């Protein structure tokens, strides 16, 4: 995968990574990187800012980030 289009996107990913749910294979770091790459790639086609799209994609898994101290669901 190419390096991040904007250095601050790497910083965002580093902030998100510790909050990803361990063992959640469908929404792991690699999934986040794929979402990021597609967001940056498709942004110009949609008339959107690649910078803002990449930043949004860097935190795309926010709803899956568990609050500090909360254990992963076990269903």
Domain that holds residue 32: 7-64
pLDDT category of residue 10 using cuts at 50, 70 and 90: confident
Number of structural domains found in the chain? 1
Give pLDDT, residue 68: 65
72 belongs to a structural domain: no
33 occurs within a structural domain: yes
Q: Tens digits of per-residue pLDDT, 29-48?
A: 888 888 899 999 999 999 99
CB atoms < 10 A from the CB of 14, how many? 10
Classify residue 65 by its DSSP letter.
P
Distance CA 57, CA 69 (A): 25
């Amino acid at each position: 995968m190419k390096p991040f289009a904007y250095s601050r996107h790497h910083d965002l990913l580093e902030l998100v990574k510790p909050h990803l749910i361990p063992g959640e294979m469908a929404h792991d770091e690699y999934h986040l990187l794929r979402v990021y790459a597609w967001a940056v790639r498709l942004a110009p086609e949609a008339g959107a800012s690649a910078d803002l799209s990449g930043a949004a994609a860097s935190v795309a898994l926010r709803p899956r980030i568990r609050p500090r101290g909360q254990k992963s669901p076990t269903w």
